[in-house]
Amino acid sequence: MPKRFSDEDIQKIIDTHSQGTHSQGAVDPEGPYLTDVLIAGSGPVGCAYARTILDKQPGARVLMIEIGSQDGPVIGAHHKNSIKYQKDIDSFVHVVQGALQPLSISQEETHLSTLGGDAWRLRPNQSLVMHSRNPKQQPEVNLRASAATRTVGGMATHWTCCCPIPHEDERRNNPIPWEELEKLLNRASQLLNIDKGAFDAKDFIRHQVVKSTLLKALGEERGITALPLAVKRRPENQNYVTWSGSDTILGDAVTSEGFTLWAEHRVTKVVPRGPNSPEIAGAMLRNLRTNDDVFTVVVCCGAVGTPQVLYNSRINSEALGRYLCEQSLAFCQIVLKQELVDGIETNPDFAAKVKAHRDRYPYDPLPIPFHDPEPQIMIPYSTEHPYHVQIHRDAFSYGEVGSKADSRTVVDLRYFGKQQISKDNRVSFGDEHARGWQPGISDIYGMPQPTFYVTRSEEDHILDHKMMADMTAVANTMGAFLPGSLPQFMEPGLALHITGTTRIGKDKNDSVADEFSFSVVHGYQNLWVGGNGCIPDSTACNPTLTSVAIAIKGAEAVVDYLKKSA
């Protein structure tokens, strides 16, 4: 069994591993902290690990570390649960914008061509390096809109809660057999509280109008259906819903004596027990050490943050940060056709709601109640149409309607396309031309600055063109394009669905984590990774459900390790 660390042991670890630009090696005045499991990251995947471990091993001590703050009284709650955002979905756009921190800003974007002549300015060959400004980033291979949310709950504080089942084409490389993966996806659905019918009631006007219009135009063969969403209608008032966040996944585990959350703490690196040791002895915040017997680390810091921590830990993997896939994103907004809006008045399914609304608001020109739920429709990925489609009215970091139109008549179309898998598509954290760990510039948190090298292949461009053509055709069946929201491809990275950077697999040359020990980093016994980066496939659908399913299996492997090593 691993021995208990003395103060001398801890100091030796700090002295050995605190060299370099990005280290934080000082011990906190309170001294080292003992835990059984350390989880870096408080998003859905980190919480799935915590919940599963505590359910299976109630006596375990789980310490969760989050680099961001806790912004509300409930750990990791979805911010859209606030009534004011459900009354005005456009106002939530600014919440999402405020939550997202860009990951890599190229030098071209920092040039101020109209700056006054007597102001401080960069000299030739100088570059800004603060706040993700990255002098190494080439703009043509950047994921310019890629961003991270650093708060307790992560992106689950503002995600759309869309949780589709991946198509066979989107899970070809997944080492989990489909029969087992299907069961894991079902368990993940329960953790996420998925309800496909929350927006699919017969008298939900906008949803049914959009759905019936699409079925009439495209037919049954496209598989048009309600979006599977992690959401429940509130029993006390059906006009409002509760969107699932990290708090939903944690459930009662958050009250367990064994669960501890430290907000505004950064996991800088994991520390092996010795040179070339397969065992992780601790993690560097300012102060961590193990318990007497066994210790595990689970890094769930996002598809960029997780390989960043591993890189800073001097974990050299040929596949680390590589095989990066991000979805292309086509977007437009339409205003519903006049005939569709007029048809609402004569539809018997809507008669009671329309009359009640007319009686209360006789001057409203629309027959749509103010509390009528937004449409939430999915056209799933298929081999014939290899992209995932969401037709709804929701808040992203873009797409605000504002005063341009009545939001009740506006429908958003979002098409997500796959990217061909390539080892050369990657995120890097050091010198591209050096072997092993190299110091470099830092991001806003003092960690190695991520730099993207991502391009789309000719095949990707062809499929993107096909996707755009389908989007414009589908949009025209429902209405006219909203001025300012014409069909367009969005900035690369805006989908925020990166996969592959810590992919699971059999071969350590093309994967970061082991498929058999499940999500354990190759060459280590007690270091797990979690998140969208673990998905070894290129996907078009939202990856969260798959990531949570993989996390459940990984968490069970953590429990087995704890039991066998006790």
Identify whether the C-beta of residue 542 lies closer than 8 Å to the C-beta of residue 312.
no
Question: Which of 136, 148, 51, 81 shows the shortest CA–CA distance to 552?
Answer: 51
DSSP single-letter state for residue 68 = S
Tell me which H or E stretch contains 250.
helix 246-250
Q: Active-site residue among 81, 142, 193, 542? A: 542
Query: Are 554 and 47 spatial neighbours (Cβ–Cβ below 8 Å)?
Result: no
SS3 (DSSP) at 114: coil
Copy the structure tokens of residue 147. Answer: 């961003």
Specify whether 497 is catalytic.
yes
CA pair distance 38, 288, nearest whole angstrom: 9
Please give the single-letter amino acid code of residue 179. E
Written as six digits, the tokens of 28 are 């906190």
- Alpha-carbon 163 to chain mean position: 12
Cβ atoms within 10 Å of 564's Cβ, excluding its own? 8
Give the CA count within 13 Å in the CB-facing half-sphere of 215: 12
**Residue 476 known to be catalytic:** no
For residue 64, what are its two tokens?
């969760």
* Residue 336, CA atoms < 13 Å, CB-side half-sphere: 30
- Given the residues 497, 522, 526, 532, the one annotated as active site: 497
Question: In what helix (H) or strand (E) does residue 305 lie, and over which residues does it extend?
Answer: helix 302-312
Residues in the chain: 566
- Between CA 343 and CA 272 the distance in angstroms is 67
What is d(CA 381, CA 541) in angstroms, rounded to the nearest whole number? 7
Answer for the pair 157, 193: CB distance below 8 angstroms, yes or no: no
- CA-CA distance, 56 to 556, in Å (whole number)? 8
- The residues carrying an active-site annotation are 497, 542
